[in-house]
Amino acid sequence: MNHSANCLHYGHDRFRTLLASIRSDIRRFQTKSAENLAAPDDLLHRGSAFFTPEILAQTLYRLSHFAYVNGWRRSAILLSRLNSYVHKINIPPQSCIGPGLHIPHPCAITFCGCAGEHLTLYSLATCGATYEYADPPLSACPVLGDRIISGAHQAILGPVVVGNDVILGVGVSKIEEHIASTVLVYPRQARVFVSKPRAIEDFLRPSGGNSI
């Protein structure tokens, strides 16, 4: 999905959609999972969540992207640079991310590309174009589906398409092919393996050294 199609799908040029995306990000912050209900969804708790580093960083990105798609490029760049300076997070304003963004520790994260709903980015995650681009077009960047979990210390570079419900494990540093939906990706001996679909509980459980 290219930039224009992604933004057209979510309506990122409309102010009410901007507010809806921020509300969705806050709700995602409050509800980490079905088993982890951090706080009730009321005005007091939403206001408290808004002033956390995670939501402030994501809101600055949302504002920069809103300015970008409406043609206010200087304002978009200013907001993006402010976000980089204050929160040490690099999300260029042309990047298009759906609602429900979750960045637990907004530091040393780089994302340039398109993503669907409920994207999770952990610290030191990198997603963008290959190194020959100083100011990459989105056509040279990854396209991620819905409910992607991007682990710490991972780098996904180039025009790779990642399907829905994919977990990019800690330390993944190279993906050469498109990744289908509902898989786990993890590094091992400088290679990338793609597992058969299985539950996240199995992924977190020690495997006793057996490969998939």
Q: In a structure prediction context, what are the per-residue pLDDT tens digits for the chain, which is 212 residues long? A: 344 577 777 888 899 999 999 998 988 887 765 555 555 666 666 667 777 889 999 999 999 999 999 999 999 999 999 999 999 999 999 999 999 999 988 888 999 999 999 999 988 888 888 766 667 788 888 888 899 888 888 888 888 888 888 888 776 665 555 565 555 555 543 344 333 333 434 433 444 433 33
Residue 202 has a pLDDT of 41
Question: How far, in Å, CA of 90 to CA of 93, rounded?
Answer: 9
Is the separation of the CB atoms in 87 and 57 below 8 Å? yes
Residue 197 has a pLDDT of 37
Question: How far, in Å, CA of 1 to CA of 138, rounded?
Answer: 10
Residue 175 has a pLDDT of 59
Sign of torsion, CA 42 48 49 55?
positive
Q: Tell me the C-alpha to C-alpha distance, in Å, between residue 150 and each of 41, 48, 122, 154.
A: 26, 26, 6, 7
Sign of torsion, CA 17 18 19 21?
positive
Tokens of 31: 């509800």
How, if at all, do strands 31-33 and 36-37 pair? Answer: antiparallel
pTM, whole model, 2 decimals? 0.77
Name the 3-class secondary structure at 143: strand
